[in-house]
Structure 1
Amino acid sequence: MASSTLIFSLIALILIITTTIPLSLSSPEQGFAARLIHRDSPESPLYNPAATRAHLAQSASRRTIARQNYFNRVMSSGNKWGSSLISATLGQGHGDFIMQYKIGTPRVDTFGIFDTGSSLIWMQCEPCQKCYMQTIPIYDPAKSESYQKVKCGSVECSTTAYTSCTEDGECKYRIEYQDGSLTDGDIATDTLMLEDDGLSGNVNLSNMVIGCGHYNLDPVEDYSPGVVGLSREPSSLVGQIGFRHVSYCIPSEDNGNGSSVKIGLPAVITEENTQTPMLSGKGGLYYLSLEGISVDGARLNIPRSVFDMTPEGDGGVIMDSGTSFTLIAPEGFGAVKQAVLDALSEFKPVEDSDKLYPFCYDDGRFKLETTPEIMFHFTRLDFPLAAGNTWIRNSQGHFCMAIRESVGNFNIFGLYQHRNANVGFDFNNNIVSLKYTDCQ
C-alpha cells in the first residue's frame, strides 16, 4: 500500500473474462469473471522480493489497523459519508488484492486495489501537481481519445456525492483523511477494458465514470496507482455496469491459485441454507445481520446491540474485502477473547512481540487442532471459522489469534476469516451467501 495460516502468501492470478458486454447492458445473461492478483505475489506490480514472511504478516495487520481507524473516523464523525468514502484504501488500510485492466484509447495498462468498501474507480493522472510514487507510469489522459471531463449538472457528476464545481462548470472531487492522505482531481469518463486469458474475448466498458487525481498524497507509500471500487454505490464498477449479482472466492495459499471476482451471470450465489440477509447501510457497504458468537458450542453473553446498527445508521457488521482481519466491537471482543483463553487454559499465552495481535501461544504442544471453534451466528446462517482462518503466525513463529478489537462500536468481517469460502451478493433479493468451497 505466507504456510497454511497466511493468506498473504504468493497468490498469483491472471485476469479471466467470460464474455464481452457494453456498458449500458445489464442483461442477466451477461457478465464476466476476473481473477485477482495478491499484492505480494511475484506476478503483482507491488511485489517486493526482499519481503520476509514476518514483513508480510506485519504489513497485513497494519493495513487492518489503518482500515479500522478509517471506519472509526467515518462512523463517529458528522461528516457526510459519501464525501469520505471515495476510497477506503488510500492511506486507510490498503487492500490485499489488485485488479489489472486497460484504460483509454489507445489502451494503457494499469491496475487498482480490489475494494468492496470503495465507491469509485480512480487513479493518479498527469499532469501531476503532486503525486506519490507508483510502480507503473502515471496515466496521461491527454493521450486518450476517449477521455472526457465531466460537466457539472450531468448525471455522471450528480451520482457522485463527493464532488464540487468550478467556475467554468467542471466536476471536481477532493477527499482528505486524518492521516494526511488525500486525492484531488477531475471526475471524467473514459473507456476501460478487462482482458481475458485468450478464452472468451474482452470486456469493453465505454463512458465509465472515473476519478482522475492530479493532487495525491499517500504517506504510507502504497505504490498502487489507485482503486477499483466495488461497493453498491452508483459510481463503483458494480454500480455502473448494473449487474445484480457479484461473488468472489479467496483461497488460502495451500489451496491453489483460483481467486476471482465474478459479476453478472458467472457470479455464484449458493443455496438457501447458506444465505443471510444483506442490510442497507452507509456508503453502499455490505452490511450483515449478526446475532451472536459461540466458542466451542457455548453462546457468549454478548448483547445483540453490539452487532446492530443504530437508528442513525452507525455501528453494525460490515463485510469488507479491504480489511484483512475481523474486527469486533470492544464489548463483544472481550467476551470472545476470554472464552478462547479459558478454552486454552492448559497453554500459557504470550504477548505478541509485533504488538499486532491480542495474544499468542508458543508452547510446543500447541496445535491448530487443539483450538476452540468460533462460530458466527448470522441471521439464518451459522458460519464456523476454520482454525486456519482464526490463527496466524507472527514474526517469531508463534500462533496468534487473527481477530482484533475494533477501535469503535462497529464490526468488520475480514477477508482472512472467510478464506476458502464463496461469498455471493444478490442485490435483487438483498442476500449474502457464504459457503466453504474449493476456490479453484
Structure 2
Amino acid sequence: MNVPIPPSFHLDTVVSDILPDSGEYVLKVTIGTPPYDIYAIADTGSDLFWAQCLPCDQCFPHKYPPYNPKLSSTYRDVACPSQQCQLHGSTSCAPPTNTCNFTQGYSDSSLAKGVLATETVTFASTTGPPVTVPNIVFGCSHNNSGVFNENEMGLVGLAKGSVSLISQIGTSFGARRFSHCLVPFPSPPTVTSIMSFGSGSEVSGPGTVTTSLVTMPNPSSLYHVTLYGISVGSTNLPFHSSGASAKGNVFIDSGTPLTMVPRDFYDRLVAELRRVVELTPVDDPQLRPQLCYGRDVLAKGPVLTAHFDGPADVELKPTSTFIQAKDGVFCFAMAATDSPGGIFGNYAQINYLIGFDLDANTVSFKPTDCTKK
C-alpha cells in the first residue's frame, strides 16, 4: 500500500533506480494510479520531466508501452491559463479545451511536444513502504523526435527550475537535496545504482570534497560551479591561459556524456596528454580528430584532477577520461566548444557519489564504487 505524505514529512532515504544506457543514464520514475514505471533520461541540465503518452502522433520506438493517461485515476490536464501552466517557459493555450501545450527543445536538436498534466509520483523507501507525492506537473508528450533509443521513454529534468522534479518535490522528504552515483561504462543495464532524495541523500564522510553552486543570470536553473583548471598528472593547466577563471564557468550535467571545455583549454589538455601518455595514438579516420589509444591507456594513462573552487579536487581516472569508441579503441572523453564556459559531463562523474544541496547551495563529490549499492 502506498502512503501519501504531507509536505513536511521527514523520511530517512527515498530512492529511485538509475541505470546505464549507451552514454546516458535512465531513472525509473513511477507515476499514475495504478503505478506505472517510466524510464527517462536523468538530466541535471534541464528542468521538465516528460514522458511519451498515448495517443502518439509521432513517437520514437521503445520497448515499453507508452504511458496511457486514460488508465490512471490521478491524471489531470493542466488548465490554461493557470499558475501551473506558467511553470514551464514555452507553453500555449489550445482552445476550445484550453489545455496547456508545451514545447521542449534540446541542444542536440531533440524535441518534445505535448500537454502539461499532473500526476501522482511514487518513490521507493529504504525504511518502509513506497510513498507518493500528488499533483506533480509533467509533460505528457505526443510528438517527439531526436536521438532517443528503445530503453528511453522520456526525460526527467533535475535542474533547479520551478517545473523540475527536484523543485516540485521541495522539502517533501525533509530537505531540498538529492544525490546520484553513476556506474562506469560499459556496464550491463542489470548493474544499477540509486538516486536518493531528501534528508537521507547528503554526501559526507572521508574523501568528500565540496564546492559552491553559483547562480548565473541565464539560464539560472543549472548547477554552475567554478572550475579553475585540470591537472594532467602533476601538470596543472588553468581553465584560461591567463590563469583567471570566471565564477560559474561550467555546469554539472548528467544528460551530456562528454565534458565540454573551451577550445584553447581543450587543445592544451590534448597536447599534454600526447606528451605524457607513452603509447602510440590510434589513427582511425572515423574517429578523427579525437585523441584515441588502445586498451592499454586504461592502465597506463594519467590521472586527471579537476580543480573546483573550495578547494575541491576531483580525481578522474583513465576509466572515466578514456571511453570505448569501438572495440579495443578508447578516446578522450572531452571535447572542444566555442563557448567561453563548459559542461562537466556524465563520464567525468562516474564512480562518484555526487550530492546536490539546494538549501546549502553546494555540490559534494565522494569517491565511491557505484556498482555497489
TM-score, normalised via structure 2 length: 0.85
Kindly indicate whether residue 144 of structure 2 is the aligned counterpart of residue 212 of structure 1.
Answer: no
Partner of 1:318: 251
Q: CA separation in 1, counterparts of 2:211 and 2:288?
A: 31
Trace 1:12-51 onto structure 2 (pairs within 5 A): 22=5, 25-27=7-9, 29=11, 31-39=13-21
Q: Which amino acid aligns with 2:194?
A: S
Q: 1:349 aligns with which of 255, 277, 281?
A: 281
Kindly indicate whether residue 346 of structure 2 is the aligned counterpart of residue 415 of structure 1.
Answer: yes
The structure with more helix, counted as a fraction of residues: 1
The structure with more strand, counted as a fraction of residues: 2
Structure 1 residues 307 and 414: CA distance shift in structure 2, 3 A? farther
Asked whether the equivalents of residues 302 and 317 of structure 2 are also in contact (C-alpha less than 8 Å), the reply is no
Q: Which amino acid aligns with 2:281?
A: P
Q: How far apart are residue 430 of structure 1 and its match?
A: 0.8
Q: CA separation in 2, counterparts of 1:306 and 1:412?
A: 18
Aligned positions, number: 357
Structure 1 residues 113 and 375: CA distance shift in structure 2, 3 A? same
Q: CA separation in 1, counterparts of 2:143 and 2:49?
A: 16
Q: CA separation in 2, counterparts of 1:411 and 1:432?
A: 17
Structure 1 residues 374 and 101: CA distance shift in structure 2, 3 A? closer
SS of 2:122's partner is: strand
Farther off after superposition, 138-147 or 296-305: 296-305
Asked whether the equivalents of residues 297 and 318 of structure 2 are also in contact (C-alpha less than 8 Å), the reply is no
Q: 2:180 aligns with which of 236, 248, 252?
A: 248
Deviations 1:13-68 (A, max 9, x none): xxxxxx9562x5145545502221223xxxxxxxxxxxxxxxx5xxx3xxxxxxxx
Q: Which amino acid aligns with 1:331?
A: D
Structure 1 residues 254 and 393: CA distance shift in structure 2, 3 A? closer
Partner of 1:263: 197
Trace 1:290-305 onto structure 2 (pairs within 5 A): 290-303=227-240
Trace 1:119-268 onto structure 2 (pairs within 5 A): 119-168=47-96, 169-176=98-105, 181-195=110-124, 200-218=128-146, 220-223=147-150, 224-243=152-171, 244-252=176-184, 257=191, 259-268=193-202
TM-score, normalised via structure 1 length: 0.73
Asked whether the equivalents of residues 261 and 335 of structure 2 are also in contact (C-alpha less than 8 Å), the reply is yes
Q: How far apart are residue 265 of structure 1 and its match?
A: 1.5
Trace 1:398-409 onto structure 2 (pairs within 5 A): 398-409=329-340
Partner of 1:16: none
Q: CA separation in 2, counterparts of 1:308 and 1:20?
A: 46
SS of 1:152's partner is: coil
Asked whether the equivalents of residues 105 and 191 of structure 1 are also in contact (C-alpha less than 8 Å), the reply is yes
Asked whether the equivalents of residues 276 and 433 of structure 1 are also in contact (C-alpha less than 8 Å), the reply is yes
Kindly indicate whether residue 215 of structure 2 is the aligned counterpart of residue 280 of structure 1.
Answer: yes
Q: How far apart are residue 396 of structure 1 and its match?
A: 4.2
Q: CA separation in 2, counterparts of 1:269 and 1:180?
A: 34
Partner of 2:315: 384
The gaps in structure 2 that reach 5 residues or longer are none
Asked whether the equivalents of residues 159 and 166 of structure 2 are also in contact (C-alpha less than 8 Å), the reply is yes
Asked whether the equivalents of residues 208 and 365 of structure 2 are also in contact (C-alpha less than 8 Å), the reply is no
Q: CA separation in 2, counterparts of 1:239 and 1:38?
A: 24
Q: How far apart are residue 248 of structure 1 and its match?
A: 0.9
Asked whether the equivalents of residues 100 and 194 of structure 1 are also in contact (C-alpha less than 8 Å), the reply is no
Partner of 1:116: 44
Structure 1 residues 393 and 31: CA distance shift in structure 2, 3 A? closer
Deviations 1:99-136 (A, max 9, x none): 22333233333322222122122112222333232222
Deviations 1:69-124 (A, max 9, x none): xxxxxxxxxxxxxxxxxxxxxxxxxxx22222333233333322222122122112
The gaps in structure 1 that reach 5 residues or longer are 1-18, 40-55, 61-95, 310-314
Deviations 1:197-235 (A, max 9, x none): 8x72112121111111122233x3523221122111121
Structure 1 residues 318 and 355: CA distance shift in structure 2, 3 A? same
SS of 1:300's partner is: strand
Asked whether the equivalents of residues 14 and 124 of structure 2 are also in contact (C-alpha less than 8 Å), the reply is no
Partner of 2:264: 331
Deviations 1:332-361 (A, max 9, x none): 1111111111113x4332324541772123
Q: CA separation in 2, counterparts of 1:178 and 1:98?
A: 19
Asked whether the equivalents of residues 16 and 28 of structure 2 are also in contact (C-alpha less than 8 Å), the reply is no
Q: Which amino acid aligns with 1:162?
A: S
* Aligned-pair Cα RMSD in Å: 2.9
Structure 1 residues 355 and 253: CA distance shift in structure 2, 3 A? closer
Q: CA separation in 2, counterparts of 1:399 and 1:437?
A: 23
Deviations 1:239-298 (A, max 9, x none): 111031111112336999461111101203225961111111315111111112222222
Q: Which amino acid aligns with 2:246?
A: D
Trace 1:93-112 onto structure 2 (pairs within 5 A): 96-112=24-40
Asked whether the equivalents of residues 33 and 266 of structure 1 are also in contact (C-alpha less than 8 Å), the reply is no
Asked whether the equivalents of residues 20 and 192 of structure 2 are also in contact (C-alpha less than 8 Å), the reply is no
Structure 1 residues 261 and 142: CA distance shift in structure 2, 3 A? same
Deviations 1:127-166 (A, max 9, x none): 2333232222222222322111111242211222221223
Q: Which amino acid aligns with 2:198?
A: G
Q: CA separation in 1, counterparts of 2:3 and 2:289?
A: 44
Asked whether the equivalents of residues 260 and 345 of structure 2 are also in contact (C-alpha less than 8 Å), the reply is yes
Q: How far apart are residue 319 of structure 1 and its match?
A: 0.8
SS of 2:84's partner is: helix
Q: Which amino acid aligns with 2:226?
A: S
Q: Which amino acid aligns with 1:402?
A: A
